Amino acid sequence: MNIISDWTRQAKLGKQPSKVALQKHLNEVHHKNPGFTELIASNCKDKYGNTSYDLLLNLLDKEKNLNILDIACGSGYLLNLCYKRFGANFNLTGIDMSNSELELARKKLIHTNYKLHLGMAQDLSFLEDNSFDAILCHWALTLMDPIIPVFKNINSLLKNRGFFAAIIDGDISTVPEYQKVHNIIYKYVQKEHPNYGFIELGDIRVRNSKGLKKLALKTFPDSDITITKHILYFSDYPKSLAREVARFFYASFVLSVKEHNKMIKELEKYFSSKLNKGQGCYIMPVNFICIKKNK
């Protein structure tokens, strides 16, 4: 926590932070907290027991989807799960801009056939066009600015009939319990960083299904685009749930220790207010976009 960067300083002045400031800020968050996404995302499940990683992998066909690219693969959780589920048939490639995350991925994937690249999703010229059957992205599109070059790269890298699938934040207002948690976290963050929330990491158009669809239609004209909403649940004892959930919000990383502790206490109180067998429950909406290339 307490990550003060050029991004937070520029946002505090009410300016849209520069792309360089965004990249440095994200790199610092991930350098100090590598692997934090998988810790919570692997515990959040829909009513059928699927995590958001499973939702992506459920689309893969062992016979057809041989070349897989994970954009912003982070600590390699999805690629490793893909290997565990489908064996060594697939060629797995991951790219991420954080070396600290890739270090974890390299350790995890040591026994598999993989290629990992340090790089930005906006510049994937080192990968071959029309070479991937499936491109996946778990929880990272909303951090990317500019986003259009990322979509264009995906379109070029996909083979005909290939597909792109991504998990992104759901629409906040669709789940009141999620909105409550979101509002607690942002209340503390906005005390110290009043513009956080009005200015966000990444391109805000990707943060809701309408904006996302509009952008996707522009960049993938010859494709079938579907966006579906899913709800994920994570139950745990309120004290640990409060800490785990807070880490899932990038906003919480900029808080001072003092405000962070107060926020954790309030989250704990909130999760304690509705217990089931002593455990509280975090409920989170996600959007799942799938783009199938027709030509």
- The residues binding ligand SAM (CB under 6 A) are 26, 30, 37-38, 41, 72-75, 77, 96-98, 101, 120-122, 138-140, 143-144
**Minimal distance in Å, beta carbon 165 to ligand SAM?**
12
Pick 122 or 156: Cβ nearer ligand SAM = 122
Pick 21 or 268: Cβ nearer ligand SAM = 21
Separation CA 239–CA 51 (nearest Å): 22
Pick 97 or 109: Cβ nearer ligand SAM = 97
Looking at residue 226, its amino acid is T
Residue (of 256, 274, 86) closest to 176 by Cα position? 274
Pick 248 or 270: Cβ nearer ligand SAM = 248
Pick 140 or 254: Cβ nearer ligand SAM = 140
**Helix (H) / strand (E) containing 25:** helix 19-32
Pick 68 or 140: Cβ nearer ligand SAM = 140
The 3-state DSSP composition of the chain as helix, strand, coil percent (nearest 5) reads 45, 25, 30
**Minimal distance in Å, beta carbon 114 to ligand SAM?**
14
The C-alpha angle 196, 212, 193, rounded to 5 degrees, equals 0
Residue (of 204, 140, 146, 207) closest to 167 by Cα position? 140
Residue (of 54, 4, 60, 11) closest to 28 by Cα position? 4
**Minimal distance in Å, beta carbon 221 to ligand SAM?**
23
**Minimal distance in Å, beta carbon 140 to ligand SAM?**
4
Per-residue DSSP letter, 49: S
**Minimal distance in Å, beta carbon 168 to ligand SAM?**
10
Backbone angles phi, psi at 22, to 5 degrees: -65, -45
Q: Are 203 and 146 in contact (CB under 8 A)?
A: yes
**Minimal distance in Å, beta carbon 276 to ligand SAM?**
27
